[in-house]
Chain A
Amino acid sequence: MSEATQALYLAVELVISMDAGLVEIVLLSLQVSLLAVAVACAIGLPLGALLGIARFRGRRLLISINNALMGLPPVVVGLAVYLMLSRSGPFGVFGLLYTPTAMIIAQTLLVLPIVAALSRQTIEDLNAEYDEYLRSLDMRLAGRLKTLLWDGRASLATAAIAGLGRAIAEVGAVIIVGGNIDHVTRVMTTAIALETSKGDLALALALGLVLVTIALALNAAVEILRAGAERKLHAGA
């Protein structure tokens, strides 16, 4: 049997048998990445929206920086967070290194620029479209932000999903700050890296297939929600 078919076979077997080790790893992956995306959205959506509609000096520069940060290598973020959370670092006293919390922090930093940049673009376009209407209502900045964020929610969900894709797929940051500790900080990607380094390529590939399937399911779920929301929006209009 070739490695690829063996991997496919193994992946199906792992999923069907609901392998306890696999379930634990998948749940931790989802927990870490979903929380990271949630925190990144809580900060990034308003920040991106503000950047989209406010006019101030240095705005273009901030947007450029934001866009550039989307390409931040995970390993650099991992290293920076390690230095912060290490016992010798400024936040060492909290003892967060090698915990899921450290992984959430690292992934939040990775996802934040993506959510902010994509929501900035969405809100900027929407603001141009709604400008006259919002002006007629004499809306203040806060009200404007709220309206735009709410009406743009379908597109903003895409920003969140893009962020989730980055979070759940990265290995460079979580392996440094999490340490890939069995039953504590081992997630899908670090497990794949480990199996690869053990030379068990079929198992590594099988885990990869499970990861892709989960990503697909998450995207499908968001797409369905979005389609529902859009239908409601049109029905209301």
Chain B
Amino acid sequence: MKLLVALICILPLVATGAAAQDRFIILQSTTSTANSGLLDYLAPKFKDKTGIDLRVVAVGTGQALKNARNGDGDVLLVHAKQREEKFVADGFGTKRHDVMYNDFVIVGPDDDPADIAGVYDITVALKKISAAKSPFVSRGDESGTHITERGLWKLAGIDAAADSGTWYRETGSGMGATLNIATGMRAYTLTDRATWIAFANKPDFRIMVEGDKRLFNQYGIILVNQQRHPHVKAAEGQAFIDWLISPEGQLAISAYKRDGQQLFFPNAN
């Protein structure tokens, strides 16, 4: 009983422990920027410069946008340009800036059942996958990657979602979980290159399709609108955006490497 009382007494301490350290911003971002280690790499550099702590919530782009809409974040760093522009147009964000890009790739098992290795045209590759009914794993979670993937199927003129549950399988999970599933069932999937390079569990798997300019993957950053959500830390959030699109922040992005490979390419104007 004494233990119980003691524990209850600590409760306010835990609660205030988080609040005492007030100089922080919440960044709603995607699993690709977090799982690749980029944000862990940038956060201490930004903190050294400004003293502001970067707290990252890594979810899919769809959920990040939704959370930011609810005001549960100060800055948004995601990759679905049209939805980002709509977010700003609807008054939830102040301004959208390009930050960096990389590209999407199709990865698949070494034995390549649909014979797409080295195909340049992404629509041709997708047509071959659907014709062969080779297993393809989709994120199925309204993430930036999922939105891009649906757009690519549309370009190829294939209604893949109609075959959901047969060769086309929607996981409704993050990129990492989806890659685990793809390697587990020897299926093709679309992934951003950064997550793929940083991903550790890829036995007998490799990149099959890359380089088509339609596989371009642009990241944008937006400050959540303080007029809509008064508690938003606009000054601190803007400081992060300004730093990230400054020459210093852009250089930091290009300096981040995994296995000797650059994962993101800065392109803020």
State the interface size on chain B (CB cutoff 8 A): 36
| Residue from the set B26, B56, B67, B174 with the largest chain A CB neighbour count within 10 Å | B67
> In the bound complex, do residue A87 and residue B15 qualify as a contact, i.e. CB atoms below 8 Å apart?
no
> Which residues, 165 to 222 on A, are CB-close (under 8 Å) to B?
179-182, 184, 194, 196-201
Determine whether A88 belongs to the interface, using a CB cutoff of 8 Å to chain B.
Answer: yes
* B229 adjacent to A87 (CB under 8 Å): yes
Please determine whether A181 and B56 come into contact, CB atoms closer than 8 angstroms. Answer: yes
Given contacts A38-B4, A100-B14, A88 and B57 within 8 Å (CB-CB): no
Secondary structure call for the B interface: helix
Q: Evaluate contact between A182 and B14: CB separation under 8 angstroms.
A: no
Cα–Cα, bound, A190→B93 (Å): 29
If A38-B8, A98-B57, A99-B18 touch, does A197 touch B174 (CB 8 Å cutoff)? yes
Say yes or no: is B131 at the interface (Cβ < 8 Å to chain A).
Answer: no
B19 touching A99 by the CB < 8 A rule? yes
Min CB distance B35 to A, Å, is 5
> Does B121 interact with chain A (Cβ within 8 Å)?
no
Whole-angstrom distance between the alpha carbons of A123 and B175 in the complex? 48
B11, B31, B40, B72 — which one has the most chain A CB atoms within 10 A of its CB?
Answer: B72
Contact B70 A86 (CB under 8 A): yes
A38 touches B71 (CB 8 A): no
Contact partner of A86 (CB less than 8 A), chosen from B15, B72, B175, B198, is B72
Q: Is the CB of A196 within 8 A of B180?
A: yes
Q: For the complex, what is the distance from the CA of A196 to the CA of B55, rounded to whole Å?
A: 21
- A148 to B207 Cα, complex, angstroms: 66
Any chain A CB within 8 A of the CB of B266? no
Counting CB contacts under 8 A, is B263 at the interface?
A: no
Closest Cβ of chain A to B7, distance in Å, is 4
Inter-chain CA distance A26–B14, complex, in Å, is: 15
**Extra contacts besides A86-B70, A98-B55, A184-B55 (11): CB < 8 Å:** A32-B14, A35-B8, A86-B72, A87-B72, A87-B229, A100-B14, A100-B15, A100-B18, A181-B57, A197-B176, A199-B179
10 A-B pairs with the lowest CB-CB distances in the bound complex, closest first:
A197-B176, A87-B71, A199-B201, A179-B57, A38-B7, A199-B200, A88-B70, A99-B18, A199-B199, A101-B15
Chain A interface residues (CB < 8 Å from chain B)? 31-32, 34-35, 38-39, 41-42, 86-89, 92-93, 95-101, 104, 179-182, 184, 194, 196-201
Q: Residues of B at under 8 Å CB distance from A?
A: 4, 7-8, 10-11, 14-15, 17-19, 26, 31, 35, 40, 55-58, 67, 69-72, 174-177, 179-180, 198-202, 229, 231
